[in-house]
Amino acid sequence: MNRDLQHIFSKAKKNDRLAQKSLFEMFSGKMLSVANSYINNRDDAEDVLMNAFYKVFTKLDDCKNYESFPFWLRKIVVNDAIGFIRKNKHILYAETEFTDSMAEKVEDISEFSQDIDLDIIFKEMPIGYKLVFNLAVFEEKKHQQIAEILNISEGTSKSQLSKAKKWLQDYFNGQQNIQQNAESEI
């Protein structure tokens, strides 16, 4: 695939429409999942994806090489998804300073080893939690960076991440209780 990507990327840079279509087909599924993890509506996520690919193909010369293309594309999709949310949603963040006692209360969510459908979980998670969680966990951004991206304070970023982890913990506990109740009825 690496050799194919190199060849397709170089042709796409020369405005070869078939190569651009191939790039779209290679990456659109994964990038739709990325956009959808930020936006609760699949139609809106598809719009963000299409706009991101339009931007990618009009600015493909800005991408240094084929090896960095997937990362560059992901960054554009994430930024466009955040931009979409800023324009179309009123996101409320609870201005709560993050304290060490809060950190101790939030258990590590990695202890859950069940099959996880992120699409379902992210549809239910409050948008403010989801944005900060995605940026911190999947994009590996620091709280200072998240604060700048979302135009919030670092304390709010820390608080929202803490609340997202707590929300996930409660969600998984609820799912576990549902499963246990279903098993006890059998």
Q: Does 106 share its domain with 82?
A: no
Question: Which of 126, 43, 118, 127 shows the shortest CA–CA distance to 82?
Answer: 127
CATH of the domain at 174: 1.10.10.10
- 99 dihedral zone (left: phi>0; alpha: psi -120 to 50; beta): beta
Same domain for 15 and 55? yes
User: Tens digits of per-residue pLDDT, 12-70?
Assistant: 999 999 999 999 999 999 999 999 888 878 899 999 999 999 999 999 999 989 999 99
Q: Are residues 40 and 118 in the same domain?
A: no
pLDDT in tens, 122-179: 888 888 898 899 999 988 899 999 888 888 899 999 999 999 999 999 988 888 888 7
For residue 27, give its domain range: 2-88
Q: Residue 161 is encoded by which pair of tokens? A: 């991440």
- Per the structure block, which two tokens stand in for 149? 């991206």
Do residue 125 and residue 149 come from a single domain?
Answer: yes
Average pLDDT value for residue range 81-102: 61
- Both 75 and 14 in one domain: the answer is yes
Distance CA 49, CA 42 (A): 10
Q: Residue 88: its pLDDT value, please?
A: 80
**Is the same domain home to 84 and 162?**
no
- pLDDT score of 98 more than 60: no
Domain final residue pick, 88, 109, 128: 88
82 and 115 inside one domain: no
pTM assigned to the model: 0.67
The structure tokens listed for 110 are 């990695």
| In the predicted structure, residue 113 carries a pLDDT above the cut 60 | no
Q: How far apart are the C-alpha atoms of 22 and 15, rounded to whole Å?
A: 12
Q: Which of 32, 34, 38, 71 is nearest to 50 (CA)?
A: 32
For 163, counting Cβ atoms within 10 Å of its Cβ (0-12 exposed, 13-18 middle, 19+ buried), the class is buried
First to last CA, the chain: 48
- Structurally, the chain folds into a number of domains equal to 2
Q: Say yes or no: 56 and 129 in one domain.
A: no
Which pLDDT score is estimated for 102?
41
Whether 106 and 174 share a structural domain: yes
> Is 126 a domain residue?
yes
Statement to judge: residues 122 and 174 lie in one domain: yes
